Amino acid sequence: MSDADLLFTPATKAAALIRSGALSPVELTQAVLAEARQVQARLNPFVVLLEDEALASARAAEAAVRSGAPLGPLHGVPVSIKDQVDVRGVRTTYGSAIFADSAEATADDVTVARLRAAGAIIFAKTTLPEFGHKGLTDGPSFGTTRNPWDPARTAGGSSGGAAVAVATGLGPIALGMDGAGSIRIPAACCGVVGLKPTLGSIPWQQGADAFGNYTYAGPMARTLADLATMRAVLAGPDASDPWSLRAADLPLSPALAGRDLHGLRIGVIEHAANARLQREMAANLQASVSVFEALGAAVDMAGADIDWMEMPGRVMYQANFAISQRRYLAEWRDRMDPTLLAFMERGDGFSLTEFREGQYARTRLFRAIQRLFERFDVLVTPTLSRTALPADFDAAHDEVEVEGELCGITRQGWSSYVYPFNLTGHPALTVPNGFDDAGLPTGVQLVGRWGAELDLLRLGSVLEEARPWAACRPSEVQVA
User: Would strands 378-382 and 441-448 be described as parallel, antiparallel, or unpaired?
Assistant: antiparallel
Task: Please tell me the pTM assigned to this model.
Answer: 0.98
What count of Cα atoms within 13 Å lies in the side-chain half-sphere of residue 343?
Answer: 31
Print the SS3 string covering 106-132.
Answer: CCCCHHHHHHHHCCCEEEEEECCCHHH
Q: Which of 57, 96, 141, 182 is catalytic?
A: 182
In this prediction, residue 479 carries a pLDDT of 44
CATH number for the segment(s) 3-466: 3.90.1300.10
In this prediction, residue 230 carries a pLDDT of 98
Residue 446 and residue 251: Cα distance in Å, rounded? Answer: 17
- Residue 216 Cα distances to 177, 185, 234, 418, 423, angstroms: 6, 14, 12, 13, 11
| Percentage with pLDDT > 90 across the chain | 96
Residue among 80, 142, 139, 69 at smallest CA distance from 111: 80
What are the boundaries of each domain within the chain?
3-466
Q: Do 133 and 343 form a contact (C-beta atoms < 8 A)?
A: yes
Residues of the chain with pLDDT under 50: 478-480
In this prediction, residue 194 carries a pLDDT of 98
Residue 177 — φ and ψ, nearest 5°? -130, 145
Q: Which of 57, 80, 82, 288 is catalytic?
A: 82
Q: Which of 96, 158, 201, 288 is catalytic?
A: 158
User: Is residue 82 flagged as an active site residue?
Assistant: yes
Q: What does the DSSP 8-state code read for residue 82?
A: E
User: Is residue 182 flagged as an active site residue?
Assistant: yes
**pLDDT tens digits, one per residue of 298-308:** 999 999 999 99
Q: Which residues face 412 on adjacent strands?
A: none
User: Is residue 13 flagged as an active site residue?
Assistant: no
In this prediction, residue 112 carries a pLDDT of 98
Residue 86 and residue 68: Cα distance in Å, rounded? Answer: 31
In this prediction, residue 480 carries a pLDDT of 38
Q: Do 200 and 247 form a contact (C-beta atoms < 8 A)?
A: yes
